[in-house]
Structure 1
Amino acid sequence: MLDKSDWGHLIPHQGTMCLLDTVVAWTAESIHARTDSHRRAENPLRSDGTLRAVHLCEYGAQSMAVHGALLARDAGTGAAPGFLVSLRAVNLALARIDELAGPLDVFGERLLGSEASWQYAFRIEHAGAEIASGRAAVMLVQE
């Protein structure tokens, strides 16, 4: 298990915008992260005190950022910055997530990766039940 202090500085999401708390496990193809940030009043995605399930897409996207950063670190480089450009086949099992007791488990699976873009499938679970899934694409900034 990797605490945020191990990888948090590797991604652009800082402070309360870094929604993931720990990396439970990761391989070259996948990542499993865990978080309680959905229950925090200072979650920057809240609107009128509510955190909607659509924001789970950001949790999935952040798992991609952490995974890419860990891969780059292992390769002795830094991860290129990127922009989320596409969400597809998103399924949400509920309307809001701020009232869920206990942590969220965030899973990301790398489908394609190149120097120009990444594509991942993501899945978020609460108490062992899937509450969101989808696919996301990131275009990397070439410097």
Structure 2
Amino acid sequence: MIQREELASLIPHAGLMCLNDVVIEWDKESVLCSTQSHLRIDNPLYKNNKLSALHAIEYCAQAMAVHGGLLAREQGATLPPGYLAAVRNVELSYTSLNEIKQELMIHAKQLMAQGGSLMYEFKMYFIQDKGDTKGEEIKVATGRATVIQMVKAG
């Protein structure tokens, strides 16, 4: 498990803008993060005491950046700067994230990486507690994203 301080060192966001709290697991293809920052009133994305579900895309994009940072670190490198170029097939099941009281899970799976262009499939969900049995996974957001890294030519 990778805690928030180490996680934050892998992405360009700092302080409260680092939205994910923990990397639960990761491998060469994917990363699973968790967070409760959607419940923190000092979350910088709050507006009028609400955290729009559209911000799920930012949470997922940060998970993608963490994944890229972990892969780069494994190779003894640092992640080049990048930007979210496109999102597709986004489905949101809620209007605001702060109406969800459970810990949020953020999963990002790399589908393609070629020449500084990356494609990820992402989902955000939470586990609905069922008492003694394993809880049910409740979808919050899903979609696909294209990330373009600013790789030096040459």
Is the pair's TM-score, using the shorter chain for normalization, greater than 0.5?
yes
The equivalent of 2:85 in structure 1 is 85
Unaligned 5+ runs, structure 2: 128-136
Determine helix, strand or coil for the equivalent of 2:98: coil
Q: Which of these residues, 118, 138, 142, is aligned with residue 129 of structure 1?
A: 138
The equivalent of 2:16 in structure 1 is 16
The equivalent of 2:151 in structure 1 is 142
| Runs of 4+ in structure 1 over 6 Å off | none
The equivalent of 2:51 in structure 1 is 51
Higher-Rg structure is: 2
**C-alpha RMSD over aligned residues:** 0.9
The equivalent of 2:68 in structure 1 is 68
Count of paired positions: 143
The equivalent of 1:36 in structure 2 is 36
| Identity value in percent | 38
The equivalent of 2:134 in structure 1 is none
Q: Distance in 1 between matches of 2:72 and 2:48?
A: 38
Residue type matched to 1:47 in 2? K
Using the TM superposition, give the Cα deviation of residue 42 of structure 1 relative to its aligned residue in structure 2, in angstroms.
1.0
Q: Distance in 1 between matches of 2:80 and 2:115?
A: 9
Q: Distance in 2 between matches of 1:113 and 1:16?
A: 29
TM-score (norm 2): 0.90
Determine helix, strand or coil for the equivalent of 2:97: coil
Unaligned 5+ runs, structure 1: none
Using the TM superposition, give the Cα deviation of residue 7 of structure 1 relative to its aligned residue in structure 2, in angstroms.
2.7
Q: Distance in 1 between matches of 2:24 and 2:114?
A: 25
Instruction: Give the 5 Å matches for 1:93-112.
Output: 93-112=93-112
Q: Distance in 1 between matches of 2:17 and 2:24?
A: 19
Determine helix, strand or coil for the equivalent of 1:63: helix
TM-score (norm 1): 0.96
